[in-house]
Amino acid sequence: MSDQLAVRTSRLQNAGNGLFALQSFGAGDVVCVYHGDILTTREALQVEDKSYLMRLGKGVYIDARDHPDVIARYINDCRSKGVHNVAFEKDPIKKRAIVRAIRPIAPNEELYVNYGTWYWLAYNMTHKENPIK
């Protein structure tokens, strides 16, 4: 945990925890870093719970599933354009993703990032039998 961010119950229904700013961030500021276990494509395909799996580039993945201390893993996607306030800057060489503010963020604001179309396609395929309501 940091003095700049806090994990709290998300404002999104059924999302679990979310990540909240405890201070202001300006557009372009580094907010935190997403890191975890480094996996190859073959290893990533074997991961059953892909909730915290991020593709950084060709053949390079990180999985923060077993790292609750990686606070960036609590950033949710609100699935509403215009509401996202951070973006992932993926760096396959350094095997991490920088979380950068894409607009000013106020204290107590929940952080939202766009997970991307492929994440939601895979999510919907996985949860087809038991959709979130």
Write down the pLDDT at residue 21.
Answer: 98
The 3-class secondary structure across the chain, one letter per residue, is: CCCCEEEEECCCCCCCEEEEECCCECCCCEEEEECCEEECHHHHHHCCCCCCEEEEECCEEEECCCCCCCHHHHCECCCCCCCCCEEEEEECCCCEEEEEECCCECCCCECECCCCHHHHHHHHHHCCCCCCC
pLDDT string in tens for the chain (133-residue length) = 478 999 999 999 888 999 999 999 999 999 999 999 999 999 999 999 888 999 999 999 999 999 999 999 999 988 777 789 999 999 999 999 999 999 999 999 999 998 865 554 554 445 455 444 3
Name the class of domain 5-126.
Answer: mainly beta
